[in-house]
Structure 1
Amino acid sequence: MSRDDQLPELTNYIGGAFSAPAISRGQYLCDANTGEPLQERRNSDMQQVSAALEVADHTHSDGTWEETPAQERAVLLEKMAEELAGEEYAETITVADSLTSGAVIRTTRKMAKILPLVFRGAAAYLRQGHLDRKVPGPCGEVEYLQRPWGPALLIAPWNGPTAIGSHKVASALAAGAPCILKPSEFTPHSAIMMARAAHRAGLPEGAFQLTLGDRNVGGKMVEDPRIKAVSFTGGLAGGRAIARACAADFIPTQLELGGNNQLVVFEDADLDKAATGIVYGLTNLNGQWCRALGRLLVHESVKDVLLDKVLSLLSGFRLGHSLDEASDMGPLVHRGHFEQILADIERLQAHGGHLLSSTPLPDLQGNFVAPTLVDGCQPEDTREEIFGPVAAVHSFRNDDEALALANGTDLGLAGYVYSENIERAFAFARRMRTGGVKINGYSLLSIGEGTPRSAWGLSGLGEEGHAQSIEFFTGARVIGVSPQDLLGGR
């Protein structure tokens, strides 16, 4: 079932040419289901990193990509979309992401199908003329232009590598910013396929480049003065390091760092609907996504009934090989993360946590953790994110207690509210200090067309979305004929 022969060769894409990363680490990408080695991991060396930075800087300096008219950039983005819609790309990305991240193949197949739509959406944004506007001025029309800051560094995570990586790439390219993508060393394959698509679509050399490697490779580029914008999705420690590196020179940063997301169930909720949402939040992408369920906050009067419904659903969940079409959930991404999640569970148990789990483990040697709720801990012991299929349970007696719990962490990415009283749900959601709140439903996708995905507190900095991410890579230039004020302040 491995199908590891479909994995693309690990290559950089620098200056319009493919090349192998120079450094062998003696470490391997492993099948998350079995722990078996798939490919030797490789790092770009300093010479390769410097070459990519030099090409990006030259491309920006001579205007090769920025001065390509927006309509022509749109055509090239659409050509990339056509390439990525091909069966070769979709099948390779589907299998590679499933093997390496552990996400079930039904989910990675959806991600692969969405991939070309991301580039088509960025092209449509350009065709609508959003980067070149005119507004009224005192002496005629004033040009209001959005232009790229300069070379952009894109650092994508191992969870959702295709969706997150493509969103960053399409947005930077639409903005006219030469970009360098540094994917996670654990899930690099969709980035390699995007590089192939860019090459075949005929993007100018230097518009898009790819450097493989670990955090040291990303760190070298973050600290280089030729990088003028950084978009990062990952952990809090990495986000803080990037923010520090960019602060001295005011380099724009877009940081999405995760969330300990609160799901609130009121006593008047549809408990079947709430149970479905809880299981989805706990198991989608194996709990390895930034908007996964972190803390379940439930009214004390319905807690026992709700937990019984959740455990009943989980008992019928199939935890299995990620390439098995019948699997509902797969393994965690790699052994180190697996061990971290087990340590987190032990920590909560040491704080009085009682484990609630009913999903059978498969007869496989991979990184499998059954979806688990932990009841009985104090709220102060569950304030940190656990990036896996584990969530804490807390009960409340009234709305004030519920709100104190919901706002009781330093993270604020996503929230969820279940109540049959829609007015009450909206009123409560408006008071949650988080980037977005979904009512009576749990979904991977954004809730409203054109709305941003925002991060509050330690969940990050800035907003992501269709328009927001493109505009992040740009600054405003306002040009027009001005009246001349009289001298002396008359």
Structure 2
Amino acid sequence: MIAPVDTQTLPALENLIDEQFTTPELDRHNHIFNANTDEPLQAQFSCSPAQIERALTAADNAYQSGEWENTPAAERADVLEKIADELQQTDYAERISHADAVTTGAIIRTTRKMAQLVPLVFRQAAHFIRAGGLEQRLPGPRGDVEYFRRPWGPALLISPWNGPTAIGSHKIASALAAGAPCIMKPSEWAPHSAIIMAQAIHKVGLPKGTFQLTCGNRTIGSQMVEDDRIKAISFTGGLAGGRAVARACADRFVPTQLELGGNNQLVVLEDADLDKAAEGIAYGLTNLNAQWCRALGRVIVHESMKQTLLDKCLERLAGIRLGHSLDEASDMGPMVHRGQYDLVLSEIERLKSKGGIPLSSTPLSDLPGYFIAPTLLDGCSPADTREEIFGPVASIHTYRTEAEALALANGTALGLAGYVYGEDEARAFAFARQMRTGGVKINGYSLLSLGHNAPRGAWGLSGIGEEGHTQSIEFFTGARVVGVSPQDALGGY
């Protein structure tokens, strides 16, 4: 059954600025659309410069007061646990999963799982600081040396429209655990999960100005990125946006954490189980509708196995149900909005003009939304497939030797994720270790991280810094070391 969709099912667009919920003041004359039907759902209002100024002032005041920063870690952890308890209530998960499915096109089964994980994100952050993750004692020449981490200052959190709940909650929990006042700026295309989380955080209560939410487009993002009161920025989004953030922060040396996407390679070694590989390729083309940073970009397979692999892939893709994102039976939904839909189709046409042959077997939905069947493109030159498409499209390339396969796998400027299929795990590990990318999964394709404490790195144009359970909290902080020193001009012990 498909739940009804109307403007009443989405939370109203509202900011949380200086402990007050307010309506964004500027009408951008655009709308958030139902990705399944191309119907407008909600006007895309945006903060005014004056509203952003109030948020920046409140964040700076909160930092200058030091109330949240100086709250003992155990007490901050208690507050994070209370936020998790509030978000644990069923109503929050249902509202978040429904909003994300309607606006982004991700199927409800996926958005529901992401929404249900949000309380765990806050609990993990609480556990880290309660266990002393930001406080250590080291041996020194005159007794113990205190090594502790404190927030750089007010942090700006910019989350994208793809996976807005998972990414947004991770940034918020990490910044608050670090003791940093923070301002969340969600994508104007999918702001609702951030609004719902803000409602929960507001109920629990934090010192004034410690957590704020601002709705709007890139204009308000620029105003905050360029403001001297912002001392750290965590950005997830496209390469152009990441470059703009990096340029704005360069002169002030503001710490930046940038995750910018990837044209991710899946390598099929000669001893691979082709059924497993085909299943992984199908996941890579359909999970989150291939609108996530670690989605499949290129398949690299031995020339003797290509046709068999393609046949198995098309067989699996033929069984994918492409349908309404709120339909429990759907395996894949539409693109997020008309602009992304047009962009992906234009990339398919570009590669066709370069000799690419599109291969697809998934029946299209008869709904008028932004549906694109998962597509493999054969016959393309690797030189034409180096850029990320950010949709359910991947090219397929062949190799004769593993050296050629590795050159193809490392043949883009992006390096976020990689995948290797091969039955000899030692051989697969040896190959994966040589891939210049933040993480490589062997014989599996999943939305989940490789391990609870494993960081998510980025190489090349995929970004700067690492994200993860520990790494993201530490990003918002700088190190301080305090201890008794010898009185020795030459520094001897």
Tell me which interval the TM-score lies in, with the shorter structure as reference length: over 0.9
Deviations 1:373-419 (A, max 9, x none): 00101000000001000001101111011001000000000000001
Conserved in 2, the CA contact under 8 Å of 1:256 and 1:459? yes
Matched, 1:206 2:209: yes
Conserved in 2, the CA contact under 8 Å of 1:3 and 1:95? no
Match of 2:302 among 299, 307, 325: 299
Aligned equivalents of 1:168 and 1:86: distance in 2?
21
Match of 2:172 among 169, 173, 181: 169
Tell me which stretches of 4 or more aligned residues in structure 1 moved more than 4 Å: 486-490
Shift of 1:6: 1.7
Match of 2:486 among 480, 483, 486: 483
After TM superposition, the structure 1 = structure 2 runs for residues 393-432 of structure 1, keeping only pairs within 5 Å, are 393-432=396-435
Aligned equivalents of 1:489 and 1:383: distance in 2?
54
Aligned equivalents of 2:271 and 2:136: distance in 1?
49
Shift of 1:489: 9.6
Residues 364 and 144 (structure 1), Cα distance of their counterparts in 2 relative to 1, 3 Å cut: same
Matched, 1:371 2:409: no
The aligned counterpart of 2:26 is 23
Conserved in 2, the CA contact under 8 Å of 1:2 and 1:99? no
The aligned counterpart of 1:147 is 150
| SS of alignment partner, residue 163 of structure 1 | helix
The aligned counterpart of 1:387 is 390
**TM-score, with length taken from structure 1:** 0.99
Aligned equivalents of 2:453 and 2:195: distance in 1?
29
Deviating more after overlay: 1-10 vs 195-204:
1-10
Tell me the amino acid that sits aligned with residue 320 of structure 2.
F
After TM superposition, the structure 1 = structure 2 runs for residues 459-470 of structure 1, keeping only pairs within 5 Å, are 459-470=462-473
Aligned equivalents of 1:348 and 1:184: distance in 2?
29
Aligned equivalents of 2:361 and 2:373: distance in 1?
8
| SS of alignment partner, residue 249 of structure 1 | coil
The aligned counterpart of 1:315 is 318
Matched, 1:3 2:27: no
Match of 1:260 among 258, 263, 267: 263
The aligned counterpart of 2:455 is 452
Aligned equivalents of 1:52 and 1:461: distance in 2?
27
Matched, 1:135 2:130: no
Shift of 1:317: 0.5
The aligned counterpart of 1:333 is 336
Show structure 2 runs of 5+ residues with no match. none
Match of 2:82 among 61, 64, 79: 79
| SS of alignment partner, residue 230 of structure 1 | strand
Q: Using the aligned pairs only, state the percent identity.
A: 68
Matched, 1:225 2:232: no
Deviating more after overlay: 439-448 vs 103-112:
439-448
Match of 2:327 among 304, 312, 324: 324
Aligned equivalents of 2:4 and 2:102: distance in 1?
8
Q: How many residues align?
A: 490
Shift of 1:207: 1.0
Tell me the amino acid that sits aligned with residue 27 of structure 2.
S
Shift of 1:3: 2.6
| SS of alignment partner, residue 453 of structure 1 | coil
Deviations 1:345-394 (A, max 9, x none): 00000100000100000111000000000010100000000100000110
Residues 373 and 486 (structure 1), Cα distance of their counterparts in 2 relative to 1, 3 Å cut: closer
Conserved in 2, the CA contact under 8 Å of 1:49 and 1:221? yes
**TM-score, with length taken from structure 2:** 0.98
Aligned equivalents of 1:186 and 1:486: distance in 2?
60
Aligned equivalents of 1:49 and 1:328: distance in 2?
40
Matched, 1:182 2:185: yes
Aligned equivalents of 2:28 and 2:228: distance in 1?
28
Matched, 1:290 2:288: no
Aligned equivalents of 2:401 and 2:178: distance in 1?
48
Aligned equivalents of 1:431 and 1:288: distance in 2?
26
Shift of 1:449: 2.5
Conserved in 2, the CA contact under 8 Å of 1:294 and 1:390? yes
Aligned equivalents of 2:66 and 2:485: distance in 1?
28
| SS of alignment partner, residue 470 of structure 2 | helix
The aligned counterpart of 2:43 is 40
| SS of alignment partner, residue 466 of structure 1 | coil
Shift of 1:27: 1.1
| SS of alignment partner, residue 323 of structure 1 | coil
Tell me the amino acid that sits aligned with residue 449 of structure 1.
H
